[in-house]
Chain A
Amino acid sequence: MIVRWLATLAAALAAVPAAAETVAITGARILTAGPAGAIENGTVVIRDGRIAAVGGGLAPPPGARIVDGRGGIVTPGFIQPDSTLGAVEVSQVPASADRASHAARMSAAFDISLGLNPDSILLPVARLAGITRAVTTPLYDDRPDRPLLFAGQAAVIDLAQRPQMVTRPRAAMVLEMGEGGAARAGGARGAAIVALRTLLEDVRFFARQRALYDRGEGRPQALSRADLEALVPVAEGRMPLIVKVDRASDIVEMIAFAREERLRIVIDGGVEGWRVADEIARAGVAVIVDPVANLPRSFSEIGASLENAARLHAAGVTVLLKAGSGVAHRARELRYGAGNAVAHGLPHEAALAALTINPARIFGVDDRLGSVEPGKQADLVLWSGDPFEPLSQPRAVFIDGIEQPLTARTLELRDRYMP
């Protein structure tokens, strides 16, 4: 088994171009998502997997492989937040999915970065839509006997289909409040908030008194040791807490709660966020928005609006965009979602930031990813035109400076049946 795995690994390594290759993409319009903004007729030089230089009228270094970017647009690779890429193959085949745990003593400790599948056929499909990284985020697997608050810990991954695919493990904790949180806490929002507060007290007590806990002394704890340990960085404000809420009042409530408890939260969903945009902006909280979620799908989403992303941005909120309700198979709709947000008032460059530098910053990888800047890892996409337009397609995709094949199982199936 191990021999076979090693053989596969060796074959995979042999198949990809060397990371050390020097490449220059020339003559393209470069949307950097960084301080340089848009660069016309620009060149990006990739060396040793990193961006060595970027600018207008740069001469490519001698020996560099030239990728003709004329007529095209270069963007940073997109980062899909709130996805389950790498953790699912077929949604309705449980054995092919590792997105959720229903173990009774395993909630916050569930670490999705362990057991991901770099061979997933979803990764090349998403890559063909310009996605080079994703924030793989645990889901809930509710059972009647498991009213647990936390879904687990999310990880930043890459889509290069290599054995080591985790960019940053345990990048954030995932918690649903509002209707979902209330249901898991016995049926009321007031119960969920009290439960959460109590758990955080337990976590802080545990962090101070680990020895006491291990001797079986101290106070009784609702959570397992692993769960308590996983929550320590959340309680100490070191790990962001992704809070799924939609109703305006729930958003305000969670902002106040986070302030009191000194938590770093990120709002996920935030369907009615536009109604409390100023409060969100003042608190410096980022929001992950599904830009096409405009229907009152629950009594927490009555104010759903296609202008949510635009209004949050206008109020000064850091906006991240997601697609397809977090369904991994629909990751490729991310760029279309950005286009829809633009059609409803979000500036184009803000939409690009919402797919690149904003998620990089929120999930702690902006020192190395999220923009076309010298020194950063070379996650780049050369597009045939405006990346948000369905009629545009990627001409080249790089992850860590390695050009990715523009193939996928779906395209191989297509070729079998082409007329």
Chain B
Amino acid sequence: MRAPVGLALLWALAACAAQDRPEVAASPAPLRAGQDPAAAPDPYASTYRPGPSERIAIVGATILTGTGEAIENGTVLIADGRIEAVGRDVAVPEGHARIDGRGRWVTPGIIDPHSHLGVWSQPDSVEAQNDVNELTDPNTAQVWAEHSLWPQDPGFDAAREAGVTTLMILPGSGNLFGGRTVTVRNVPAVTMQAMRFPGAPAGLKVACGENPKRVYGGRGRSPATRMGNVAGYRRAWIEAADYQRRWDRWRDGAGAGDPPRRDLQLDTLAGVLRGEILVHNHCYRADEMAIMIDVAREFGFRIRAFHHSSEAYKIAPLLAREQICAVTWTNWWGYKMEVFDAIEENAAIVDAAGGCAAIHSDDPLVVQRLNQEAAAALSAGRRAGLDISEGEAIRWITANPARILGIDDRTGTLEPGKAADVVLWSASPFSIYALAQTVWIDGARMFDRGRPGGAHSSDFLVGQAGQEAR
């Protein structure tokens, strides 16, 4: 498919150049398909198509918009896959089906900024289902999580039933550079491409601390220490800058001479240096996060978010100043040394310092309770005397992860023009008893609790025991 198009393009450009300006080559002659990283920057492109959008009005609900606001007895209008209007005094236009929201709550679709669904799939005790960590070299920036992703992971369905409409799927943290992340719509699909969030930027998973040094130190290789970790990052960024320079020089020379040989690992790292790929940095300790900020400054790139970031509360003003988000849990702690100092108030303290806090799951069960994790974080913040409203706290699982994933222009809040990613809850999402009743993605109803056929189940479970009444 791709080669003929490439050749046709080659011919067309060559013909153009020959006829119009034979003496000036404006751009280098295209290389053979797949050889020039700039020629096809999105080779595994999204084929996601939203389901049929509803035209509805949810009336009388408490609405947490994700902008910090809470609207009681409000109305949300949805049409053509988008939010049309949100507010207390919104008239319901002709042709919109009314949904009674009284006693119920509406939020933007939940976004999990750190998931391994599909790349470490159920049944996850089965080794064959584990495609998350390419533990063959400390730098595997060349691998892409989307090439491991199995859309049939039953965890996607369970997450959707809990209101999760978008997730970022990451490679694991055993390597310094784990590979590229992929952001997906949480829709039933048979191919990865049909889940890819159109236009969402790619990310690069970088890991600090114990994991890389344990994996490679245990094999008698570098990194065996935290200083080895940092040397590994710095060496890689030097190579990436050199690689970018070689391509730039070749392009500046209008394609004269041999082109650089394409390197998938350096493609990813160079994409970070160009600002096209967002850095998602697994990093627990405050001191290590501060060093990573300096590494980024040394080589001229930005870190989008620290993930896990259990000690973000110790450097909350620094993170706020650097505009780096802290993605964390509320309840997990103590399973290893670098997470010994994790506290429930982490997100609330980052938030109170004016920073960007988000709650993630990193787990197929926690992803089904991100609202409860946010509730526990909110409760801990209030216990500490911080004045945080529900309207603000919902941002930790909606607007802020959207910003972290670089999709905040399209989703994460209930604002006119944004994608109609909406959850209707049976109660406040900060109540342990709240269930997602209806979930819309791009205005299409993707889950409807209790309605026959309202829930999708994975091919994996078809025909297996106990499915009739799960």
Interface residue ranges, A against B (CB under 8 Å):
89-93, 122, 179, 248, 272, 275, 292-299, 301-305, 324, 327, 329-330, 332-333, 336, 339-340, 342-343, 388-393, 410-411, 413-414, 417-419
Contact = CB atoms under 8 A, between A and B. Distances in A.
A390 B465 contact: no
Interface of B: 122-126, 154-155, 158, 313-314, 316-317, 331-337, 340-345, 349, 352-353, 364-365, 368-369, 372, 375-376, 378-379, 382-385, 430-435, 460-461, 464-467, 469-470
Given A93-B337, A417-B316, A393 B466 contact: no
27 contacts: A90-B334, A91-B334, A92-B335, A92-B336, A93-B336, A93-B337, A272-B466, A294-B158, A294-B368, A295-B154, A296-B123, A297-B125, A299-B123, A303-B464, A305-B469, A339-B432, A340-B369, A342-B433, A390-B430, A390-B432, A410-B333, A411-B343, A414-B345, A418-B349, A418-B385, A419-B316, A419-B353
A405 to B, nearest CB: 15
A392 B376 CA distance: 9
Which among B368, B372, B384 has the greatest number of chain A C-beta atoms within 10 A? B372
B312 to A, nearest CB: 10
Given A296-B123, A297-B123, A410-B344, A248 B432 contact: no
Contact of A343 (B334, B337, B375, B433): B433
A122 B334 contact: yes
Given A122-B334, A305-B470, A417-B316, A296 B433 contact: no
A179 B336 CA distance: 27
A90 B316 CA distance: 25
A96 B11 CA distance: 69
B430 A92 contact: no
A393 B316 contact: no
B343 A303 contact: no
A295 B122 contact: yes
Nearest to B374: A390
B335 A329 contact: yes
B253 to A, nearest CB: 53
Contact of A417 (B125, B126, B314): B314
A330 B342 CA distance: 12
Contacts of B331: 324, 330, 332-333
Contacts, number: 136
Q: Which of A296, A329, A388 neighbours the largest number of chain B CB atoms within 10 Å of its CB? A: A296
A329 B435 CA distance: 26
A346 B200 CA distance: 41
Given A295-B365, A340-B369, A343-B432, A413 B343 contact: yes
B335 A91 contact: yes
A292 B349 contact: no
Nearest to B129: A297
Contacts of A392: 379
Contacts of A89: 334
Contacts of A333: 331
A298 B127 CA distance: 10
Contacts of B364: 295
Nearest to B345: A414
Contact of B349 (A93, A293, A339, A414): A414
Which 9 residue pairs spanning A and B have beta carbons closest together?
A303-B466, A339-B432, A390-B375, A329-B334, A92-B336, A91-B335, A298-B125, A390-B376, A410-B343
A374 B460 CA distance: 53
Contact of A296 (B122, B317, B340, B378): B122
B326 to A, nearest CB: 13
Contacts of B469: 305
A389 B427 CA distance: 12
A272 B466 CA distance: 8
Contact of A391 (B123, B317, B365, B378): B378
A275 B465 contact: yes
Which of B385, B430, B465, B467 has the largest number of chain A CB atoms within 10 A? B465
A145 B102 CA distance: 62
A329 B337 CA distance: 13
A329 B372 contact: no
Given A302-B461, A390-B372, A419 B352 contact: yes
A391 B379 contact: yes
A336 B372 contact: yes
A90, A343, A391, A411: residue with the most chain B Cβ atoms closer than 10 Å: A391
Nearest to B434: A343
Contacts of A93: 336-337
A286 to B, nearest CB: 21
